[in-house]
Structure 1
Amino acid sequence: MDYSYEPLPPINEVGQTPSFTRLMLLAPGIGDHPLECSLIVIDPANSPLQYEALSYVWGTERAPTPIRCGNGIIGITLNLERALKDLRVPHQTRPLWVDALCTNQKDLDERARQVAYMRQVYKHARRVVVWLGPLDGIRSRAIMRAQELCAFRAMLMETTFPDSNHVGESPSVTPEIEVILLDALNAESEHASAEALMQLFESDYFKRVWCIQEVVASRSAIAKSGDMEMDFYELLSIIKLILTKQIVDRRGPAFPPNTLQFWVTVLIQRDRSYYPNALKVENSLGKMLNVLMGIRDFQSTDPRDRLFAILGITDEGLQPVLANMEVMGRPNAKRLGMMHKAVAWVADKANSSRPGIDFGRNPALKPCYTKPAMEIYRNFTRYMVRKQPRLLDILSHVQHTKDPNGEPYPSWVPKFDTPRSVSYFPQQLYLAGVPYTGHYRYFAELHDCPLRGEAVEPNVLQLDGFIFDQVVAVTAPTNYTLHDDTPVENMWSQLFGVPLFPRSGLRYADGKEQADAAFFATLSAGAFGPALNLSDQIRKAGLEHERLESIEYLTQLGRNNIVRWLFQSRGYPVSTYQDLLPSGVSNFEQAMGDADSYHRGSWSMLLNRRLYRTRAGWLGLGPNAMRDGDILVVLYGGSLPFVLRPTGDDWLYIGDTYVHNSDLMNGHLVDRVRRGQRSHHPMTFRLV
């Protein structure tokens, strides 16, 4: 007989309700003995028993034998059966929290309620057990080698810094130590162990979206397989070495980034100090859109969990009232910090007064398994457009791989459950739709969306902006491998009637540079490359808060790289492309260019995109789904321009785009349009 779940205690009529959940008491046993357990209701914050929380991959294959629970049985997956047999002990009960058993998966309302409590469950657990799968030769070698490398690193740190106490992956690990560790990883005698480590990190656990919150929320976490275990964050610290090895072995392309790169973010967050007055949300990995950018290639069984699984690790999910106070520019940190504290205090007081208030939390941020994924994604998109500071960054998460006309989703709604098809443009550098001086009318505004109610036309997004230009020539989709030569001649020939080499002297649309220089810069989105690679470069230059200076610095760095790449790939000396270099620079040593950086950056930005030319002669890099006749527009609140396609009186959203036009990309044009100094006419676009 199937187990019958007793309902959880109801939500209190007055005051806050504890985060009630069930705890599994795993009965003792050994070997292939059938699994048995019982369930009790607890408040994780005040549990009478210390418990552990299991983090694992569900899997799809069903276990041949269900687990006996009280007077009934519960069907489980084969993965869970193996994990529980690994975890049970011979002579005593083991308290565990396991999502598949402690939540009634058939009760959609309970699932939504438990998802909201998930962070609390993992936060109050004595520790989180990360089960990596049954012990075999690969996992055994991988865990053993990881333990050896961590011990070796600790020894090197102690030798290098004898007066310091370094634990784990310290920020003080020097480049010299990293080289020594990489040499140890690559040692010929340890080839099998290095391969085992890479296979371990390619396993399903490191691709499951729920696993992120389960680990981030934990007090401590261990990685376990069979009877082998080690600190999970120590294991994560090896990922940096693996990523470096993949690049050295030419296995690791600039795109698509594997999920390991996001796990490095998790590791960094763990080591980050939290200061109460800082303008950061405690225990958060950052803004939802940034996290969604990093987890796009993760997996979840339910597409709605792409959003629900990160509510407990992002600013908007943890402190929605503070996330709604985000501002642009360089705010007064002390004043804003005091304001944040005051608003958070008010929100806590309001939420504790009676149930169901959830002050500051938009309905789009509440887990709900009774609505389809499209509706969840659509409502979330509207919320992200409407929340302060009303920017359109979420539209860059729309990545059409084919014509969106006739698709079940509105063209402007991101499909977060599909893998990323292109690299993201560096939004942080551009303000194409946001005037310099700023004005509430020129940030995004939804015309048909009441503050808390449903939109009048939920599948239509109405935004203001203006038409910039029309596309007249588009290249074929770009799809070559990182190890191929960049097919620049082929792409150029699809846009221009003169040869690319030797230089023709053809001027670009602005008359300030030659067309080929603009072309080479456009291939890598302004010679910057993908957004995820920019932060370190900007930080090293000391330009974290200077946007225009950052652009100028990165642009010149990119041009230096282009000149070096032209020499290495085509044999042209510095003198041929002297106009790309700073004044007074006449040789490669002075230019300091990096051909490989340009090759990787341009490949990363070009992959699955099209190069195009507009009627006025501007070059751009746009989505795979674009075609001749599409319209380039500026939408107020958009960091980037966008490609739209007219369909009757409405518009299809095709995607965001880079246009090689500094006046447009840096916000000068939109500022003049706002002042009525240009002939572009503002209008409302109905996106369907």
Structure 2
Amino acid sequence: MTSYIPLNQPRQIRIIHLAPGSREDLLCGTIETVLLGEASYEALSYEWGAPDRVCNFGLKHGSIPITTSLHQALRDLRRKAGVRTIWADGICINQDDLVERTKQVTLMGEIYKNASRVLTYIGPDADDSSSAIEFAANLVAFGVSRIRHSDPRIHIPEELPNLGLPAITSPRWQALRKLLTRTWVTRCWCGQEFLLNRNLTVMCGTTELRDWELFSKVVRLVFARRLPAHILPASGQDPLAIGECVFALGGVRRAILDKRAQFRLSNLLPQFHAFQATDPKDKIFSVLGLAVDREALGVTVDYTQATEELYTRVAGSILSLYQDVNFLSNNLGVKRLDLPSWVPDWSSWVFGTEYVNRDCGFKSKWNLSSRWVLTLENRT
């Protein structure tokens, strides 16, 4: 195992020079330390999967342990000839150094924004995924053509062949369902990685998807009842959660890149409530880089603090900055953490009715003490 050379400047990052080779060759390369903004690289977004680092990335004098999912991604991304320069968190950040990890996570928004391209790797070519991608494109064309001519037969399995679609038993439906329910779409860090760079390529194995919105279009057409609902799973992953994640990514991405909107942290948290996080602190940290008010709130990335402390400080900072308790009305989730009653548990948050106190016609008078005790008085 190779020891990392510490990063000793605030904006230093590491990048990988991925050596060429066939898929069966040893995965190896070199690591270079550079200043953010002074080197060209592609940034990798991928599903971490199992946290165990059981694979290795080979270096001249040793190796770095990496997860199976990162190993798969780099094997599919490396070129047969010529070096490829990539930033990937599992190698470029020392995962065993909590202080470095905290500092580098703070820079991740800029890392993805400054990349020449973001590579979103949704997993290896498996479960007939190549056929599923082609089928998805055909379905989008079919669904769009029926926007103004809704046909109820689309939701009757026996009628699908009469509409020019495969029978319900066709393996193409199963392949597409498995493709759409890969867990990359519900991963909380997918948001920041997906939203900040116009040059985005979605990859499944070695296949590049030219239209990154392909999945979004399929899911949107399902929810618009223009495609069969059985495309999404009846069990396992929640189809509503998949839909919410896809809609959030599409809507926020367009708004940010077109500079039509800026988002407060209190707006982003409900937008991304359906995304999943292994570490509950990442429910905050994964969207912090997108928040226009992150500096005003004084919220910083710090993995050493307890999740309960982080959630309480975030809620208190939002209240103190905006003098507005309305965002607390979304706090409808079942609490899993030991939090003050007024603090949302963002690890299990269910999006509720916004501004419920305005709708009910009462005003609130409140006081937030230095010990994070909230006193509320309702006045009709």
Separation in 2 of the partners of 1:84 and 1:189? Answer: 37
How many Å separate the matches in 2 of 1:377 and 1:218? 29
- For residue 24 of structure 1, report the CA deviation from its aligned partner: 0.8
Alignment of 1:429-578 (within 5 A): 430-432=358-360, 434-435=362-363, 442-446=364-368, 448=369, 455=370, 457-458=371-372, 461-465=373-377
1:177/1:198 CA distance change after superposition, 3 Å:
farther
Q: Read off the aligned partner of 2:305 and give its amino acid letter.
A: K
Mapped contact 2:117–2:199 kept (Cα < 8 A): yes
Paired AA for residue 355 in structure 2: Q
1:427 to 351, 355, 358: 355
Q: Secondary structure at the match of 2:66?
A: coil
Following the alignment from structure 1 to structure 2, what is the Cα–Cα distance between the partners of residues 204 and 370?
A: 27
Task: Find the residue that maps to 1:147 and give its secondary structure.
Answer: helix
Aligned mate of 1:56, from 42, 46, 64? 46
Give secondary structure in 2 for the equivalent of 1:137: coil
Query: Which amino acid in 2 is paired with 1:54?
Result: L
Structure 1 residues 5, 53: CA separation in 2 closer, same or farther (over 3 Å shift)? same
8 A Cα contact 1:385 1:444, kept in partner: no
Quick check: 1:388 aligned with 2:322?
yes
Q: Distance in 1 between matches of 2:66 and 2:276?
A: 20
Report matched runs for 1:33-182 at 5 Å: 33-47=25-39, 50-60=40-50, 62=52, 64-149=54-139, 175-176=147-148
Cα deviation 1:495-529 (Å, max 9, x = unaligned) = xxxxxxxxxxxxxxxxxxxxxxxxxxxxxxxxxxx
Post-superposition offset of 1:367? 0.4
Residues 395 and 414 of structure 1 are in contact (CA less than 8 Å); yes or no, is this contact kept in structure 2? no
Match in the other structure for 1:235: 215
SS in 2 for 1:22: strand
Partner of 2:14, secondary structure, is strand
Distance 2:317 2:327 in 1: 12
In the alignment, the residues of structure 1 paired with residue 61 and residue 187 of structure 2 have an alpha-carbon distance, to the nearest angstrom, of: 33
Asked if structure 1 preserves the Cα contact closer than 8 Å seen for 2:129 and 2:175, the reply is yes
CA 1:62 to 1:391, structure 2 compared with 1: closer, same or farther past 3 Å? closer
Q: Check the 8 A contact 1:223/1:230 in 2, yes or no.
A: yes
Residues 112 and 118 in structure 2, CA contact (< 8 A), matched pair in contact too? yes
Structure 2 partner of 1:308: 285
In structure 1, what is the Cα distance between the partners aligned to 2:70 and 2:119?
A: 13
Q: Quick one: which amino acid aligns to residue 415 of structure 1?
A: D
Q: 1:261 aligns with which of 228, 238, 244?
A: 244
SS of the residue aligned with 1:368? coil
3-state secondary structure, aligned to 1:269: helix
Q: 1:7 is aligned with what amino acid?
A: P
The structure-2 alpha-carbon separation of the partners of 1:429 and 1:418, relative to structure 1 and needing over 3 Å to count, comes to closer
The 1:434–1:275 alpha-carbon spacing in structure 2 relative to 1, beyond 3 Å, is: farther
Aligned to 1:652: none
Unaligned runs of 5+ in 1: 12-18, 157-173, 321-359, 436-441, 449-454, 466-633, 635-669, 672-688
Distance 1:153 1:290, change over 3 A: same
The question of whether the paired residues in 1 share the 8 Å contact of 2:94 and 2:100 is answered with yes
Residue 413 in structure 1 maps to residue 343 in structure 2:
yes
Contact 2:186–2:245, Cα closer than 8 Å, also in 1: no
- For the residues of structure 1 that align with 2:151 and 2:356, how far apart are their CA atoms? 32
Counterpart of 2:22, as a letter, is I
1:370 and 2:304 correspond: yes
User: Is 1:187 matched with 2:155?
Assistant: no
1:430–1:197 Cα change, 3 Å: farther
Shift of the alpha carbon at 1:207?
Answer: 1.4
Determine the structure 2 residue equivalent to 1:208. Answer: 187
Amino acid at match of 2:304: T
Aligned partner (choices 19, 25, 47) of residue 17 of structure 2: 25
* C-alpha distance in structure 2 between counterparts of 1:37 and 1:251, whole Å: 40
Residues 177-203 of structure 1: per-residue CA shift (max 9 Å, x gap): 7879x7899823585333322322222
Compared with structure 1, are the counterparts of its residues 316 and 259 closer, same or farther at alpha carbon in structure 2 (3 Å cutoff)?
A: farther
Aligned residues: 367
Aligned residues of 1:306 and 1:417 also touching (Cα < 8 A): yes
Q: Give the 3 Å change call, closer, same or farther, for CA 377–429 of structure 1 in structure 2.
A: closer
Distance 2:74 2:97 in 1: 24
Partner of 2:29, secondary structure, is strand
Q: CA deviation at 1:388?
A: 1.1
Matched letter for residue 311 of structure 2: Y
CA pair 66-177 structure 1, distance change in 2 beyond 3 A: farther
Contact (CA 8 Å) 1:25, 1:96: kept in 2 or not? Answer: yes
Deviations 1:557-589 (A, max 9, x none): xxxxxxxxxxxxxxxxxxxxxxxxxxxxxxxxx
Alpha-carbon deviation of 1:211? 0.9
- Cα 1:143/1:248, change in 2 over 3 Å: closer
CA offset at residue 78 of structure 1?
0.9
Other structure's SS at 2:94 match: coil
SS at match of 1:74: strand
1:260-299 maps to which residues of 2 (within 5 A)?
A: 260-272=243-255, 280-281=261-262, 286-299=263-276
TM-score between both structures, scaled by the size of structure 1: 0.48
Q: TM-score, normalised by structure 2?
A: 0.84
- Report deviation, 1:89: 1.2
1:203 to 1:194, Cα distance in 2 relative to 1, 3 A: same
Amino acid at match of 1:45: G
| Residues 23 and 443 of structure 1, relative CA distance in 2, 3 Å threshold | farther
Structure 2 distance, partners of 1:239, 1:122, is: 26
Letter in 2 for 1:210: W
C-alpha separation in 1, matches of 2:334 and 2:142: 47
Separation in 2, partners of 1:220, 1:148: 24
Percentage identity across paired residues of the two chains: 25
Counterpart Cα distance in 1 of 2:27 and 2:246: 33
Instruction: Name the Cα RMSD after superposition.
Output: 3.3
Q: What is the identity, as a one-letter code, of the residue corresponding to 2:166?
A: E
What is the CA deviation profile of residues 523-555 of structure 1, one whole-angstrom value per residue up to 9, with x for unaligned ones? xxxxxxxxxxxxxxxxxxxxxxxxxxxxxxxxx
> Residue 206 of structure 2 aligns to which amino acid in structure 1?
D
One-letter amino acid of the structure 1 residue matched with residue 47 of structure 2: V
